[in-house]
Amino acid sequence: MDSMAREHLIREWKPFDDVKVYTKVNKFALSLACRLLLGIDDPIQVQKFSDTFRYAMSGFYSMPVNFPGTSYHSALKEIGSLKKQMLKIIQDKKQRLKNSGAADTNVDILSWMLMDPNFKSKPESEIAFNLITLLIPSHESTSSAAAFVLKYVAEFPSIHDMVYKEMMAIANSKPPEELLNWEDIQKMKYSWCVINESLRLTPPGLGTFREATKNLNFAGYTIPEGWKVLWSPFTTNKDPKYYPDPDKCDPTRHEGNGPEPGTHMPFSMGPRKCPGQDYAKFVVLVYMYNVLRRFKLQVLNPDENIMYRGGPIPENGLPMRLQPLYRNVSHKTE
């Protein structure tokens, strides 16, 4: 993650005075997911996935009318195309593994799946479905989370200074060019509080469905057994009972034991908790580390309209102005 983030910033950030942060981080998150999940580095293939996901996601929250011209119809076509691409990738990977033996077992998730006895005998279509369900959240919600974290850091100088101090302490404790490791991530305690507060203020998902296992009463309403229930973080995350001055950005809310259980669930909770929590945490922290050591950010349109396509998306890509801080960076990779 760290190596790819450094390469990404040199290519996608350093040459410019202004960047659209959401657009950049979305591109990085998808490239990272393609490499870790599929072992794909080809930017042309990554762009194909990006185009497919853009159309497919538009159908997730549309009326399920399968008629030419509707968002749902277009989304189904794109998912069909994506499945064909994925099947071709699986077949090519199988052939390479057959030729190289177990040499590539730990290179990416797909290689591991094809070598693991529990997956090896499964139909290729099932493996393709598993990969698609991993790819979509691994870049869509993660890129939204990372973009809005950078927005809040840019908007609040006191938060920026604390995060910058923490990141530079880690950078200055390491030899030049050394990549981040597990111990470094564990030291980013305040930065993780900032991420949690950003997730509270701008949740990357619209909510979570659960099914009522029995008839129950809630707030004067009866919910029959078998009905779906949608929990929305946009209400619980700003409940003044648990968050005084709920619209204020205050990362210290998450220090120590943090908020009361069940009042802040960016990754849900219980046995169906998002299995990608640690992955998302690492991606956002690593991206913050690389961006904020190199640039001070200025939000160019604080009132930019936010659209929702499963999660929040800045209408214009979240444009920011960059102030380079190269002289303060101990890793002279540039």
Residues annotated within a binding site: 274
Annotated binding-site positions for heme: 274
- Report DSSP letters for 284-332, one per residue: HHHHHHHHHHHEEEEES-TT--EEESSSEEETT--EEEEEE-GGG-S--
Question: Tokens representing 58?
Answer: 């538009």
Helix axes 157-172, 277-294, angle to 10 degrees: 90
Q: Considering only CA atoms, give the Rg of the chain.
A: 21
Two structure tokens written together for 119: 């997956």
30, 219, 332 from 224: Cα distances, Å:
40, 14, 61
How far, rounded to the nearest angstrom, does the alpha carbon of residue 101 sit from its chain's CA centroid? 33
Listed residue (285, 304, 41) closest to 163, CA to CA? 285
Element (H, E) at 281: helix 277-294
CA neighbor of 283 nearest in space, from 159, 143, 167: 143
